[in-house]
Amino acid sequence: MFLTRIGYGIIFFLDLIYEIIKSTIDVAFNRIMGRNIDPIIVDVKTVLDRPVSQTILANSISLTPGTLSVDLDSENNIIKVAAISPRKQEDIIPFEPYIKKMLE
């Protein structure tokens, strides 16, 4: 059980690095150079129940360029996210399943 959680932690870290690189390229070339900026604030519903899991997810969202976690409502499992352009929820929180398997 413990080794499984460590495995998901490693996968989460690698996926986070991948998403940071992918978002950096998207923001630098597609959004800024293409002048395709349409800021939006969305409420993202998460399946994570523990506050520590929600905090790690919110911090991971803030690490990826083009998104910023504005507020975290732990009781209702909602993270308010400011994005540089409209995105699907799956694109905002692609690493949520890894956090769930790692910490819950």
pLDDT tens, position by position, 17-39 = 999 999 999 898 888 888 888 89
Type and span of the H or E element at 80:
strand 78-83
Range of the domain at 58: 2-103
pLDDT on residue 53: 95
Q: Residue 30 is which amino acid?
A: N
Q: What is the pLDDT of residues 58-90, one digit of tens each?
A: 999 999 999 999 999 999 999 999 999 888 888
Query: What single letter denotes the amino acid at residue 34?
Result: G
Contacts of 11 (CB under 8 A, 6+ apart): 98
What's the total number of domains in the chain?
Answer: 1
| pTM of full prediction above 0.85 | yes
